Amino acid sequence: MRPAASIGQALEEVDTPALILDLDVFENNLSVLSESLRGKRVRVRPHAKTHKCPEIAKRQLAAGAVGVCCQKVSEAEALLEGGIEDILISNEVVGAPKIARLAELCRHARIGVCVDNAENLRQIENSGAKLDVYVELELGMGRCGIAPGEPAAALARGIARSSHLRFGGLQAYHGRAQHLRTMEERRATIADASRKVLLTKSILEKSGVSCPIVTGAGSGTFMFEVESGAWDEIQPGSYIFMDADYARNEWSAQLPRFQHALFVLCTAMSRPSPEIAIVDAGLKASSVDSGMPGVWKRPGLAYIKASDEHGVLQASPGAAVPALGEKLLLVPGHCDPTVNLYDWYVCVRRGVVEALWPITARGALT
């Protein structure tokens, strides 16, 4: 697909819908994370499932990241193709075709993968792949992962016994905690998770298996993991973009609030009534799984309904309604699935298109 814009164009001239990245804000979000971790003993391995773009991964590495996470083998393939050579697949990889691709990836880069099941571990071991294998803990999110404590330690011992697999450590991510609204709820949930991590580590150590790395944490909680002392590495993804759902969280200086850097540029394409405007960005242009997009810097204007290709904006009494053809910026409700709808970032600095970055892992679902 051709990009919706060309370099040097003014933002207002960009055809819509287009995925806009504000470079000043994006770069500032990178610095805010680095600054907030200054002096802390923790590595950063940002999650590339958020951006799916080697250009962004390179900038995260330049800001101090040790590598990236991916969620899928095909995502890792696209990142490797784009020059990223240290990738943790923070997820389980199941089935012969995917495991064969995983083994191939390991021939070109440092790769890690997670397991939560002895049968899956055996399949990965039989593939002959040489990689770091992490045990994923179920910390209360209700997704993948093995119970902390002895069940997780037994699986880790199985990895440590392998002749060619390395025990990478524990994958400990609590997804549900990220969007608990108050700081106190998030702090308490991560405190509980850290007890489970430490219990598992101590059982492992007693059985003579050292745990090289505990990795996990997202943009909504990472400082709680760092301060617990139980995590060695964090995996924030959304911090670079900051979506409308994350904006609903409570933030404080201790856990910095990142700024909105990702937008969907759209056009008012119809004005069916005095208080309503229809824009050309519906649910195929901005994901609605975590709520409707916000309308950027347009007080009194709400995005109230999305269909495939259309969005309905409603103005409250006295608010300015967009004119036909007027362009507006939307703040996506959820950044990751919105990015996955586009082939290009239109990178803008102070209103001018500065770069076009391909989203090469877009649609990488296998």
Ligand X SMILES: Cc1ncc(COP(=O)(O)O)c(C=O)c1O
- Give the chain's end-to-end CA distance (angstroms, integer): 21
Q: How far is the CB of 197 from ligand X (least distance, A)?
A: 14
Closer residue to ligand X (CB): 216 or 322: 216
Q: How far is the CB of 90 from ligand X (least distance, A)?
A: 4
Closer residue to ligand X (CB): 50 or 200: 50
Largest CA distance in the chain: 72
Contact set with ligand X (CB under 6 A): 47, 50, 69, 90, 173, 175, 178, 218-220, 235-239
Closer residue to ligand X (CB): 231 or 344: 231
User: H or E element: which one contains 125?
Assistant: helix 118-126
Torsional class of 350: left (φ above 0), alpha (ψ -120 to 50), beta (otherwise): left
Look up residue 49 and give its two tokens: 């499932």
At residue 295, what is the residue type?
V
306 to each of 37, 155, 188, how far by Cα in Å? 39, 45, 36
Q: Strand runs (DSSP E) across the chain, as ranges?
A: 18-22, 43-44, 68-70, 86-92, 110-115, 132-136, 166-171, 213-216, 233-234, 262-273, 276-279, 294-295, 301-306, 311-315, 327-331, 344-349, 352-358
Q: Tell me if residue 113 falls in helix, strand or coil.
A: strand
At residue 5, what is the residue type?
A
Closer residue to ligand X (CB): 120 or 267: 120
Q: Report the residue number whose CB is nearest to ligand X.
A: 218
Pairing assessment for the beta strands 344-349 and 327-331 based on DSSP bridges: unpaired
* Residue 88, strand partner residues: 69, 112
Q: How far is the CB of 271 from ligand X (least distance, A)?
A: 36
At residue 316, what is the residue type?
S
Closer residue to ligand X (CB): 60 or 219: 219
Chain position carrying tokens 């076009």: 356
Closer residue to ligand X (CB): 55 or 136: 136
Closer residue to ligand X (CB): 82 or 236: 236
Q: How far is the CB of 252 from ligand X (least distance, A)?
A: 17
Distance CA 218, CA 358 (A): 24
Q: How far is the CB of 139 from ligand X (least distance, A)?
A: 11
* Residue 134, strand partner residues: 114, 169
Closer residue to ligand X (CB): 237 or 333: 237
Q: How far is the CB of 68 from ligand X (least distance, A)?
A: 11
Q: How far is the CB of 349 from ligand X (least distance, A)?
A: 24
Q: How far is the CB of 59 from ligand X (least distance, A)?
A: 16
